[in-house]
């Protein structure tokens, strides 16, 4: 009896996304190593924590495919790419990676909708929400660096920024939780 509850097309696409999330994890790991090497230990800590989150996302895709009777495939990952040229470059790249990944999630949502695979559509909604938060978080990084003076920031403001990001929460606040008294 065939118990698979995913089309071959979606199984392949979800498996590809599992590998994309793992690549995202490597990208954050490589940026964290770059930041640590530059002396930004707080920023490195933030990026390393985020690398772990991306790894968790890969595991969610893996488990979902398995739960639906499919078999995900671990692929060789491409290189995470060159080191950032500066902190501004690093945060801009982080934002762009998140936007690109959001696009990939949207394509999966489209696919699930076209197949009327509502279980997969529902599973993917968690990622739609997560990408909103991750893009917000990346925008926060860009804003904080801009306020600190961007690439012309003084050593003192960079020191403070590094300290702030070292303890920055992993999740951005969601608009769903906003209220009049706590916007």
Which residues contact ligand OFO by CB under 6 A? 21, 24, 54, 57, 98, 101, 130, 134
By beta-carbon proximity to ligand OFO, the closer residue of 120 and 148 is 120
Dihedral in degrees, nearest 10, Cα atoms 12, 130, 101, 86: -150
Cα distances from 16 to residues 73, 89, 180, in angstroms, run 8, 27, 41
> Measured from the CB of residue 36, what is the shortest distance to ligand OFO in angstroms?
20
> Measured from the CB of residue 48, what is the shortest distance to ligand OFO in angstroms?
14
> Measured from the CB of residue 102, what is the shortest distance to ligand OFO in angstroms?
8
How far is residue 7's CA from residue 68's CA, in Å, rounded to a whole number?
A: 10
How far is residue 113's CA from residue 91's CA, in Å, rounded to a whole number?
A: 33
Residue 106 backbone phi and psi in degrees, to 5 = -60, -40
By beta-carbon proximity to ligand OFO, the closer residue of 111 and 138 is 138
By beta-carbon proximity to ligand OFO, the closer residue of 5 and 49 is 49
How far is residue 25's CA from residue 21's CA, in Å, rounded to a whole number?
A: 6
By beta-carbon proximity to ligand OFO, the closer residue of 169 and 180 is 169
> Measured from the CB of residue 170, what is the shortest distance to ligand OFO in angstroms?
11
By beta-carbon proximity to ligand OFO, the closer residue of 128 and 158 is 128
> Measured from the CB of residue 157, what is the shortest distance to ligand OFO in angstroms?
27
Q: Is 32 exposed, middle or buried (0-12, 13-18, 19+ CB in 10 A)?
A: buried
């Amino acid at each position: 009896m065939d118990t698979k509850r995913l089309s071959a097309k979606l199984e392949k696409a979800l498996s590809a996304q599992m590998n994309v999330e793992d690549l995202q994890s490597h990208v954050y790991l490589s940026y964290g190593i770059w930041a640590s090497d530059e002396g930004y230990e707080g920023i490195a800590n933030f990026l390393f924590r985020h690398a772990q989150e991306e790894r968790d996302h890969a595991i969610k895709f893996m488990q979902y495919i398995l739960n639906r009777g499919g078999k995900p495939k671990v692929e060789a990952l491409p290189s995470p790419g060159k080191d950032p040229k500066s902190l501004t470059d690093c945060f801009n790249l982080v934002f762009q990676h998140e936007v690109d990944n959001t696009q990939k999630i949207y394509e999966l949502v489209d696919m699930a909708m076209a197949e009327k695979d509502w279980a997969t559509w529902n599973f993917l909604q968690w990622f739609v929400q997560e990408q909103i938060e991750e893009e917000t978080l990346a925008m926060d990084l860009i804003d904080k660096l801009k306020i600190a003076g961007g690439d012309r920031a003084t050593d003192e403001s960079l020191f403070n920024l590094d300290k702030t990001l070292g303890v920055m929460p992993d999740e951005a606040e969601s608009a769903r939780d906003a209220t009049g008294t706590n916007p």
